[in-house]
Structure 1
Amino acid sequence: MERQQISRIAHSAHPVAAPLSDGSVRRLLDQAVGDGTGRVLDLGCGEAPWLLRALAAHPRLRAVGVDTDAEALTLAQRAAETLGVAQRLGLHHQDAREFGLPEPFDVVLCVGATHAFGGLAPTLAAVARHLAPGGVALVGEGYWEREPDPAALAGLGGADPAEFADLPTTVARVVAEGWTPVQGHISSLREWDDYEWSWTGSLARWALDHPDHPDSAQAAAVAAEHRAGWLGGYRGTLGFVTLLLRRSA
């Protein structure tokens, strides 16, 4: 089973592919899109849950999503048609680093996908290239709640401690790149737990429901390994912050 397929199954029962509750997603979107008359871009959109929610709530909004997962984009298109918002959504099967349109966007999102650009700083640079003057960015990034121990790093697949910083340093780095936070959300432990139970549970449920599928055993093993790495490793160590940003004067 490909990594993208595992991710699609694992995220199938959660509002977005990040540790944010339904209410947190709604509040951040409402703050980002304002009166709902502009254009929104999601870099690394996956199945485009952020864009679909925004379009359904704001009938004058237009949106564009970019991702390398063709199947996720197909699912996003189907969902948009079901919601009746497909005419206001453009989807691009492309590396987000190479994406470009001549007209800038009023809102640019990149939540939980900074790895696609090689980290936080290059993500912010990419966002800036697409953002209209006076526009806002919504960027979600991990950070260390506390110094990661070997168990936490192992639970994250052998992560490098330098991959993230603590929260004050993370925000300071954003500011140093020429951005001003105008709002933000720090995911709670409950949001993290809901996200991780959903991630592992969805994959384990799929394996139980498809016992004869050739990938069933792999899906069950991945779910068990992920659950062990979370509960016995990085739970309470890895945090997640979502920042609403504007370019600094």
Structure 2
Amino acid sequence: MDLPRIFGIREASHRIHNPITADKLAALGQALDLVPGTRVLDLASGSGEMLCTWARDHRITGTGVDISTVFTAKARARAAELAVADRVDFVHGDASGYVAHEPVDLAACVGATWIGPGVAGTVELLARSLRPGGLMLIGEPYWRQEPPTQDVIEGCHAGSRADFRTLPELLESFAGLGYDVVEMVLADQDSWDRYQAAQWFNLRRWLDHSPDDELAAEIRAELTTEPARYAQYTREYLGWGIFALMRR
């Protein structure tokens, strides 16, 4: 059970596996007014940056669950680096079926709602671990503007316009599920640039060291086409944000 190798190659240098910066992640922690001892569950926790930095800055405790052995190892190393390994732990496993043993104060799935599958299913999954009155975090893309053609939709790695919502539609969908949106932090184009462009450097460095690997042709093709695709489509048409929800 693991992610395909290409994910680890593409995001080898990333601490945050979403188009959000460390400053914005810190701003979210401040906005949520986290108190020491807040218990957090982070499903699809990646390299653990949210849990580790919030444990350092706010003294939260928590568990992260991720299917990637590479990212889980990086998360554990980051916890040791920040001297918070006694407050956070990371489980290698399938987050799509994970429910906390005891209710938590904050349950999160930041940028991986396919585990639900979809927003509604992920909200339902997180709710199974959340104490009454607790906070839920959902990270999700949205259309910055209406995609005018199917080419634009596919250029954003979507199959149809319905794969994403506009920001107002996304906020309304949370209300339709019975939740109030109580905070949000949105990526901007610079956030996207930092996330996507770092991938190109990772791919090139990997190619320089592994020209004969079985993935070399696939990665060469991606590196050749991805910068222009991103600039034409994702950068212009897709937004991304983390949304804090509370059950009504």
Q: TM-score, normalised by structure 2?
A: 0.89
Aligned 8 A contact 2:16 2:46 in 1: no
1:159 counterpart residue number: 159
Q: CA deviation at 1:13?
A: 3.3
Aligned 8 A contact 2:61 2:88 in 1: yes
Q: d(CA) in 1 for partners of 2:183 and 2:12?
A: 28
Once the two structures are superposed, what CA deviation does each residue of 1:121-158 show, in whole Å capped at 9, x if it has no partner?
11111111111122111211111112222332232345
Corresponding residue SS for 1:243: strand
Aligned 8 A contact 2:41 2:100 in 1: no
2:66 counterpart residue number: 67
Aligned 8 A contact 1:152 1:229 in 2: no
Q: CA deviation at 1:229?
A: 2.3
2:85 counterpart residue number: 86
Instruction: Confirm or deny that 1:76 pairs with 2:75.
Output: yes
Letter paired with 1:38:
T
Provide the aligned C-alpha RMSD in A: 2.1
Tell which deviates more after alignment, 39-48 or 3-12: 3-12
- The 1:10–1:30 alpha-carbon spacing in structure 2 relative to 1, beyond 3 Å, is farther
1:173 counterpart residue number: 173
Instruction: Confirm or deny that 1:37 pairs with 2:25.
Output: no
Aligned 8 A contact 2:48 2:78 in 1: no
Aligned 8 A contact 1:138 1:242 in 2: yes
Aligned 8 A contact 1:153 1:161 in 2: yes
Q: d(CA) in 2 for partners of 1:203 and 1:223?
A: 7
Tell which deviates more after alignment, 7-16 or 77-86: 7-16
Aligned 8 A contact 1:40 1:106 in 2: yes
Aligned 8 A contact 2:49 2:78 in 1: no
Instruction: Confirm or deny that 1:101 pairs with 2:100.
Output: yes
Aligned 8 A contact 2:20 2:195 in 1: yes
Unaligned runs of 5+ in 1: none
- The 1:32–1:41 alpha-carbon spacing in structure 2 relative to 1, beyond 3 Å, is farther
Q: CA deviation at 1:216?
A: 3.6
- Identity, in percent, stands at 29
- The 1:3–1:41 alpha-carbon spacing in structure 2 relative to 1, beyond 3 Å, is closer
Aligned 8 A contact 1:151 1:234 in 2: no
Letter paired with 2:39:
R
Count of aligned residue pairs for this structure pair:
246
Q: d(CA) in 1 for partners of 2:40 and 2:228?
A: 37
Once the two structures are superposed, what CA deviation does each residue of 1:205-228 show, in whole Å capped at 9, x if it has no partner?
322244454434432322333323
Aligned 8 A contact 1:155 1:226 in 2: no
Q: d(CA) in 1 for partners of 2:15 and 2:91?
A: 22
Q: d(CA) in 1 for partners of 2:194 and 2:44?
A: 22
Corresponding residue SS for 2:236: coil
Letter paired with 1:80:
A
Corresponding residue SS for 2:40: strand
Map 1:1-249; keep pairs closer than 5 Å: 4-32=4-32, 34-59=34-59, 61-148=60-147, 149-157=149-157, 159-248=159-248
Q: d(CA) in 1 for partners of 2:235 and 2:31?
A: 29
Q: TM-score, normalised by structure 1?
A: 0.89
Q: d(CA) in 2 for partners of 1:120 and 1:21?
A: 22
Q: CA deviation at 1:183?
A: 1.1
- The 1:36–1:151 alpha-carbon spacing in structure 2 relative to 1, beyond 3 Å, is farther
